Chain A
Amino acid sequence: MKAIVSVVGKDKKGIIAKVSTCLYEMNINIENISQTIMQDYFTMIMAVDTADCPVKFDGIKQHLNELGKQTGVEIHIQLQSIFDSMHTLDTSDKEL
């Protein structure tokens, strides 16, 4: 499943390293990364594919959530379809 991982928080060293390691350990492929600093806040968006990940979606969420707590940033993962739905005009029916 295609999903979006978003990481928002105070900028510090090693955020990308930690998140990508965590994703790698769950066998999740990163397809695209964009990262900026907005008003001192680190904002990273990753497009990922969970097709080969043995962990269930809830489990992935939990792992990332815990990592977020340890690192002091907020990490969300949501299926890409929610963003497709809200931000594109294509009104053909989306599937998750």
Chain B
Amino acid sequence: MYSSNEIIETINMISQQHLDVRTITLGISLLDCITDSKKRTCEKIYDKIMSKAGNLVKIGNDISSEIGVPIVNKRISVTPVSLISAASKGHLEIIHTLDKIADETGIDFLGGYSALVHKAMTPYEKEFIRSIPEALSQTNKICSSINVATSKAGINMDAVALMGKIVKECAYMTRDKDSLACAKLVVFANAVEDNPFMAGAFLGTGEDDTVVNVGVSGPGVVKTALESCHGDLTEVAECIKQTAFKITRVGQLVAKEASNRLNASFGIVDLSLAPTPVVGDSVARILEEIGLESVGAYGTTACLAMLNDAVKKGGIMACSSVGGLSGAFIPVSEDAGMIKAAQIGALNLEKLEAMTAVCSVGLDMIAIPGDTTAEVISGIIADEIAIGVVNTKTTAVRVIPVYGKKAGEYAEFGGLLGRAPIMNINKYSPAKFINRGGRIPAPLHSNKN
């Protein structure tokens, strides 16, 4: 039996330190829905998802009530739609079906309007990618991701060049909402098949028919634990580890129970410190608690490397299967401390890029000026993707060139997506490099056989 102190500790973690399970994401394979008829494919998709996920929100809410821990989002991820629609060319019909499903089930997001083009794009995949701006601007809860590189294949620079244009187009299509569509689109290197987090969730072809993946959270819990840790950095790392263990155990419990009740496989727990814009739920504040005046100061990358590593070490023993993106997230608009640091000029894009080399997952939710060119966006993508490819890790880019706005102004997205100060960027052009196209070959160390 545990002591009263332990029980009070748990209650305080939930009520005062924002401990939550960020998401239960039910992965559903759509491979058995492929037909050469648009109508028939959509019908099969509708029937399958509704039969598997009709109760997802209720089950999530029940578990949350019983253990007393908020489960913030209930989400669905599906097989990359480009694979499902290739035979019928029915991607736009499918996205409207998925949007309808998202509304009827009451889930928060549905991910998987995705294509994996890390080595090359088929003609149909190009057509599919070109549909993303229309797809994301006409729907509310659908998220899209494109994998443009892997450590094994190198970087598909044709896809990188195309994605710069697509991001711009998404921004224009939702110009009345601060270019919100860009917040639902992520460009990946080394995308994972079992990610529960949006906007990058899809269910890989190596996965089971229905799979529960859970993403945990809890930056506020780590920050509070560190407030009473006055030791050296070894002790700080140990404190983070022990706290991460407790947080992850909650994820394990929820994942196990949700998979039982949904009659789905237990997939993975994503060991993540995912912030929200709420005060006291910030990854940046953890780094500042360790001893930085502001996140972005010299030392930030080192602190973040230690935090990320300690979270994994604590979490790995706490659950039976770890996966997804697993690490500390640093989305700028979704973290009160990051927003503040960007506001006061302590944090710039270059420092953020360095930080992504040691944590999960990339340049995330960063607002940039609306007049940024497609080539510059492709350059930002290429740099971030190169970090992932060379370091054999997942990296991603989710930038928002906010239409009609300049550096220093704000983009307002609301909810979990938060608000972002528009950051200054380097204006020199990488256009010639981007327009060369082709593929950057895989790094030497990827040839491990």
Contact = CB atoms under 8 A, between A and B. Distances in A.
Interface of A: 1, 4, 6, 8, 32, 34, 36, 43, 45, 47, 57-58, 61, 76-79, 81-83, 85-88, 91, 93-96
A85 B2 contact: no
A61 B68 CA distance: 10
Contacts of A1: 66
Which 5 residue pairs of A and B lie closest in terms of their CB atoms, listed nearest first? A78-B68, A85-B249, A82-B67, A87-B2, A87-B6
B390 to A, nearest CB: 35
Interface string B365-376: 000000000000
Given A57-B65, A78-B67, A96-B63, A87 B10 contact: yes
A96 B258 CA distance: 10
A43 B5 CA distance: 10
A43 to B, nearest CB: 6
A86 B63 contact: no
A47 to B, nearest CB: 8
Given A87-B6, A91-B319, 17 more contacts: A6-B7, A6-B8, A8-B8, A8-B11, A61-B65, A77-B68, A79-B66, A82-B67, A82-B68, A83-B2, A85-B252, A85-B253, A86-B246, A86-B249, A93-B256, A95-B260, A96-B253
Interface in B63-111: 63, 65-69
B10 A82 contact: yes
B66 A96 contact: yes
B387 to A, nearest CB: 34
Interface in B308-331: 317-320
5 contacts: A47-B1, A61-B65, A78-B67, A87-B246, A96-B67
Interface of B: 1-2, 4, 6-8, 10-11, 63, 65-69, 246, 249-250, 252-253, 256-257, 260, 317-320
A93 B318 CA distance: 10
Nearest to B67: A82
Nearest to A5: B7
Contacts of A78: 10, 66-68
Contacts, number: 73
A83 to B, nearest CB: 6
B405 to A, nearest CB: 44
A82 B250 contact: yes
A57 B66 contact: yes
A32 B318 CA distance: 28
A93 B68 contact: no
Contact of B6 (A43, A61, A79, A83): A83
Contacts of B68: 76-79, 82
A54 B393 CA distance: 52
A61 B61 CA distance: 14
Contacts of A79: 66-68
Contacts of B2: 83, 87-88
Nearest to A43: B4
A93 B249 CA distance: 10
Given A32-B1, A86-B250, A93-B256, A81 B317 contact: no
A94 B317 CA distance: 15
B69 A95 contact: no
Contacts of B67: 78-79, 81-82, 96
Nearest to B255: A93
Given A45-B7, A83-B6, A94 B256 contact: yes
A75 B347 CA distance: 43
Contact of A4 (B7, B260, B320): B7
B19 to A, nearest CB: 10
